[in-house]
């Protein structure tokens, strides 16, 4: 009986034979490459272009390296395949497990380590012309190239259809989504014919063949309400053909998720640059913030201003990777245990390994309700955006990245709708809109809080009374100013900065003990008039870290404001009680300290006021009343400040602070050196990255020594 590892290999062998047309006489399994330049190289499959080449011991055509099923294939795995291919002189190599397959060409005129990812390998009977065509038509690409390509498509639509940037973007998004869906459905990577081409469109009998494909795509995701029922591709057939012509040589389904994500965000940034109030968070900042928060399996995350979905996508990817790595660890531990039992026969071991493998796979099958990956995808990722275009974009973006889109919605992030309500989330990660105001005229409207009956029933069954109470709160505010739902606005009649309300909203959304990472303009941290916002935050959460970003971080996205990253941890109920008691004791102590002085001054002035009143000296009475009022106000301010200082001394804890200079992106949006977390562009002069300093700080804050940009 085969082991799970052997099953993976044999299944791929069937693909090589049945789908690629290689004969078994062209393939060698587990070929030892010792003597070909390596002492420990053993390739899973070595494929020759012809049977005669194999017989003559000529250089192979393709090397295949199979990997454990539940691991994310990493760059080191590519380098092993490349090494084997270079040893043998093979021009192509493949890294494969049941979750993903990546194809590569080896550039013999380049140094080791230089490879090019391609979208397929040649079939068994491929001619030289076929191979050349494959390399030119189906090729991977860098994010800048993809972003430029999307921008070209955008310009085609704007010029030919006379649409504004936002409307043109909508059409691009629909075409991209359709392309990914069609590629997945038709398994293009194993099909010699690229089905998303102008030629194939011409073969269809329809008024607008591209729209026909879009309608099929829309139907497949009808339950997600990504598009309106009457939505269609609003392009003339000739314009649609030109867009397809530009996109047809690329296979988006197999293109690296990072490449797609970065390119898509570059394109969005170039297209809008603030035109619809969206400033996209650079990928390096997203990566750093997610790593600082360190999400774990089972934790529920929300971005109440999700934009294109960058934070949610990265959390999904990172936790998925952890789940798969854990599944792999569990299997390998069991395998080591079984293989150590000499009393078991080989067939018995193989059966036990296969049974264990199947059990683990069942627990992580993303399509199986209740599995670890199903829960991650369907119960742990939530986001919303007030802009319908961004909400739709983030849904499409998440689908392209593997899923989690079901919890993303279009509605105002300040309101309790669609499973997003107070006290529900372990993690908040967000980059809220800056500079805008919530006006007194911005009211809670019926349309903003209406949920369709089926969804409401689902949420009630999932969340029970918590959901009902959350809905009651927002329904009670119907037709009232949105700001009336919050404590921070000083008056419901005055406008308030959006980012200030988002601070309160995010704290409210967190469970006790929940963690938060948020991008904020630095005025929040140092503007004297916003001290009340800082105190409001300190009264509810530990300030774990503040990382200051360079001025140019968001310039390429169209925003020039200098920002910092704030990391908080909301008090648990016990911590909140301890804080409140400490605060109350500090206030009482300070009040007692000044009680006699205040009472004496107050008594003296009240006596003088009464005398002036009896003497009918109105002017003196008013002067004395003002003096009393000013004095009491002055003493109140003084006591509040002293009580706050006493509170800080008694409820003291360390805060990590870091001033970053290089954060992975230049003012023009190009990739730059990055000191935030370990990466290939790390500045050589830094001892440790910000993330490494923070990890050290968390482990031993008392022994933490100032170094680099950390304090």
- pLDDT averaged over every residue in the chain: 82
10 Å Cβ neighbour count for 512? 14
Q: What are phi and psi of 40, to 5 degrees?
A: -145, 30
Integer Cα distance of 252 and 274 in angstroms: 27
Residue 420, classed as helix, strand or coil, is: strand
Q: pLDDT band at 434, cuts 50/70/90?
A: confident
Q: What is the tens place of the pLDDT at every residue in 560-593?
A: 788 999 999 999 999 999 999 999 999 999 999 9
Integer Cα distance of 258 and 198 in angstroms: 28
| Predicted local distance difference test score (pLDDT) of residue 556 | 64
DSSP 8-state code for residue 254: T
How open is the CA angle 122-127-130, to the nearest 5 degrees?
A: 60
Average of per-residue pLDDT across 407-435: 85
Percent of the chain with pLDDT over 70: 83
DSSP 136-190: HHSB---HHHHHHHHHHHHHHHHHHH---HHHHHHHHHHHHHHHHHHHHHHTGGG
Is 90 exceeded by the pLDDT of residue 180?
no
Integer Cα distance of 143 and 267 in angstroms: 10
**Which is more confident, 665 or 399?**
665
Q: Where are the alpha helices (DSSP H) in 187-229?
A: 198-203, 209-220
Q: pTM value?
A: 0.81
DSSP 8-state code for residue 117: E
CB 278 within 8 A of CB 272: yes
The burial class, CB within 10 Å (0-12 / 13-18 / 19+), for 570 is buried
10 Å Cβ neighbour count for 318? 17
Is 80 exceeded by the pLDDT of residue 672?
yes
DSSP 8-state code for residue 58: P
| Predicted local distance difference test score (pLDDT) of residue 290 | 97
Specify the residue for token string 């194993």. Answer: 190
> Which of 129-143, 182-196, 247-261, 406-420 has the highest average model confidence (pLDDT)?
406-420
Average of per-residue pLDDT across 116-140: 74
How open is the CA angle 66-69-74, to the nearest 5 degrees?
A: 70
Helix 531-538 and helix 498-509: axis angle, to 10°? 0
CB 319 within 8 A of CB 374: no
Integer Cα distance of 652 and 657 in angstroms: 16
The burial class, CB within 10 Å (0-12 / 13-18 / 19+), for 144 is middle
Nearest to 265 by CA among 227, 222, 309: 309
How open is the CA angle 195-196-201, to the nearest 5 degrees?
A: 90
Q: pLDDT band at 456, cuts 50/70/90?
A: confident
For the chain, state the CA radius of gyration.
31
Spacing of C-alpha 25 from chain mean position:
46
**Which is more confident, 328 or 455?**
328
Nearest to 120 by CA among 144, 108, 136: 136
Integer Cα distance of 551 and 206 in angstroms: 52
Q: pLDDT band at 138, cuts 50/70/90?
A: very low
Residue 429, classed as helix, strand or coil, is: strand
Is 60 exceeded by the pLDDT of residue 551?
yes
| Predicted local distance difference test score (pLDDT) of residue 189 | 44
Integer Cα distance of 646 and 583 in angstroms: 8
10 Å Cβ neighbour count for 523? 16
| Predicted local distance difference test score (pLDDT) of residue 73 | 66
Residue 688: half-sphere exposure toward Cβ, Cα within 13 Å: 13
**Which is more confident, 190 or 208?**
208
Percent of the chain with pLDDT over 90: 28
Average of per-residue pLDDT across 247-255: 64
Pairing, β 408-410 against β 381-385: parallel
Residue 370, classed as helix, strand or coil, is: coil
**Which is more confident, 460 or 279?**
460
Q: What is the tens place of the pLDDT at every residue in 287-309?
A: 999 999 999 999 999 999 988 78
The burial class, CB within 10 Å (0-12 / 13-18 / 19+), for 507 is buried
Q: Which tokens in the block code for residue 497?
A: 């900065």
Residues in CB range of 546: below 8 A, 6 or more apart:
525, 564, 565, 566, 567, 655, 656, 657, 658
How open is the CA angle 231-232-236, to the nearest 5 degrees?
A: 150
Is 50 exceeded by the pLDDT of residue 664?
yes
Spacing of C-alpha 331 from chain mean position:
29
Q: What is the distance between the terminal CA atoms of the chain, rounded to a whole angstrom?
A: 59
10 Å Cβ neighbour count for 377? 22
Q: Which tokens in the block code for residue 450?
A: 């209406």
| CA 485 vs CA 409, 435, 438, 475: distances in Å | 21, 20, 12, 11
């Amino acid at each position: 009986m085969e082991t799970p590892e052997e099953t993976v290999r044999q299944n791929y062998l069937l693909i090589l034979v049945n789908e690629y047309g290689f004969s078994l006489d062209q393939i060698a399994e587990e070929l030892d490459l010792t003597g070909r330049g390596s002492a420990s190289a053993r390739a899973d499959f070595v494929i020759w272009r012809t049977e005669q080449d194999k017989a003559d011991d000529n250089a192979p055509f393709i090397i295949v390296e199979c990997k454990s099923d539940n691991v994310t294939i990493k760059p080191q795995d590519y380098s092993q395949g490349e090494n084997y291919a270079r040893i043998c002189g093979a021009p192509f190599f493949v890294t494969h497990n049941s979750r993903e397959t990546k194809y590569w060409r080896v550039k013999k005129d380049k140094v080791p380590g230089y490879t090019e990812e391609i979208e397929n390998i040649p079939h068994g009977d491929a001619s030289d012309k076929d191979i050349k065509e494959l390399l030119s038509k189906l090729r991977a690409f860098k994010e800048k190239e993809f972003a430029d390509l999307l921008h070209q498509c955008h310009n085609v639509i704007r010029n030919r259809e006379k649409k504004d940037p936002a409307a043109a973007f909508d059409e691009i998004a629909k075409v991209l989504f359709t392309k990914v869906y069609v590629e997945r459905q038709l398994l293009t990577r194993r099909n010699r014919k690229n089905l998303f081409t102008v030629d194939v469109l011409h073969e269809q009998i329809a008024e607008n063949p591209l729209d026909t494909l879009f309608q099929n795509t829309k139907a497949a995701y009808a339950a997600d309400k990504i598009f309106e029922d009457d939505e269609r591709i609003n392009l003339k057939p000739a314009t649609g053909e030109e867009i397809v012509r530009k996109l047809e040589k690329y296979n988006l389904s197999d293109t690296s998720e990072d490449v797609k994500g970065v390119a898509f965000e570059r394109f969005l940034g170039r297209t809008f640059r603030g035109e619809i109030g969206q400033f996209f968070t650079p990928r390096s900042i997203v990566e750093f913030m997610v790593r600082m928060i360190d999400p774990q399996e089972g934790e529920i995350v929300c971005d109440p201003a999700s934009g294109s979905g960058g934070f949610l996508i990265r959390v999904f990817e990172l936790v998925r990777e952890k789940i798969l790595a854990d599944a792999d660890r569990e299997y390998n531990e069991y395998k080591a245990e079984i293989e150590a039992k000499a009393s078991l026969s080989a067939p018995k071991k193989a059966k036990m390994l296969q049974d264990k493998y199947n059990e683990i796979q069942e627990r992580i099958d993303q399509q199986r309700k209740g599995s670890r990956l199903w829960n991650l995808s369907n119960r742990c990722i939530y986001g919303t955006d007030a802009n319908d275009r961004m909400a739709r974009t983030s849904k499409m973006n998440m689908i392209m990245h593997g899923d989690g889109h079901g919890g993303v919605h279009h509605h105002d992030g300040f309101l309790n709708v669609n499973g997003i309500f107070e006290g529900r989330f372990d993690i908040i990660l967000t980059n809220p809109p800056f500079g805008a105001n919530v006006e007194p005229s911005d009211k809670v409207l019926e349309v903003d809080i209406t949920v369709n009956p089926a969804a409401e029933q689902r949420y009630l069954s999932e969340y029970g009374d918590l959901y009902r109470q959350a809905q009651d709160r927002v329904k009670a505010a119907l037709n009232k100013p949105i700001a009336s739902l919050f404590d921070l606005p000083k008056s419901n009649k005055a406008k308030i900065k959006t980012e200030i309300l988002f601070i309160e909203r995010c704290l409210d959304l967190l469970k006790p003990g929940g963690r938060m990472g948020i991008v904020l303009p630095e005025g929040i941290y140092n503007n004297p008039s916003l001290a009340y916002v800082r105190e409001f935050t300190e009264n509810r959460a530990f300030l774990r870290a503040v990382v200051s970003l360079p001025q140019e971080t968001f310039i390429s996205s169209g925003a020039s404001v200098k920002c910092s990253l704030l990391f908080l941890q909301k008090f648990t109920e016990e911590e909140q009680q301890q804080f409140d008691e400490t605060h109350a004791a500090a206030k009482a102590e300070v009040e007692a300290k000044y009680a006699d002085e205040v009472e004496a001054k107050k008594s003296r002035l009240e006596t003088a006021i009464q005398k002036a009143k009896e003497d009918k000296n109105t002017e003196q009475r008013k002067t004395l009343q003002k003096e009393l009022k000013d004095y009491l106000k002055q003493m109140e301010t003084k006591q509040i400040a002293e009580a706050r200082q006493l509170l800080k001394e008694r409820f003291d804890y360390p805060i990590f602070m870091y001033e970053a200079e290089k954060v992975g992106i230049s003012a023009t949006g190009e990739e730059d050196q990055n000191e935030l977390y370990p990466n290939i562009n790390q500045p050589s002069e830094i001892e440790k990255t910000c993330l490494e300093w923070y990890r050290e700080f968390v482990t031993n804050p008392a022994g933490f020594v100032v170094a680099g940009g950390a304090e």
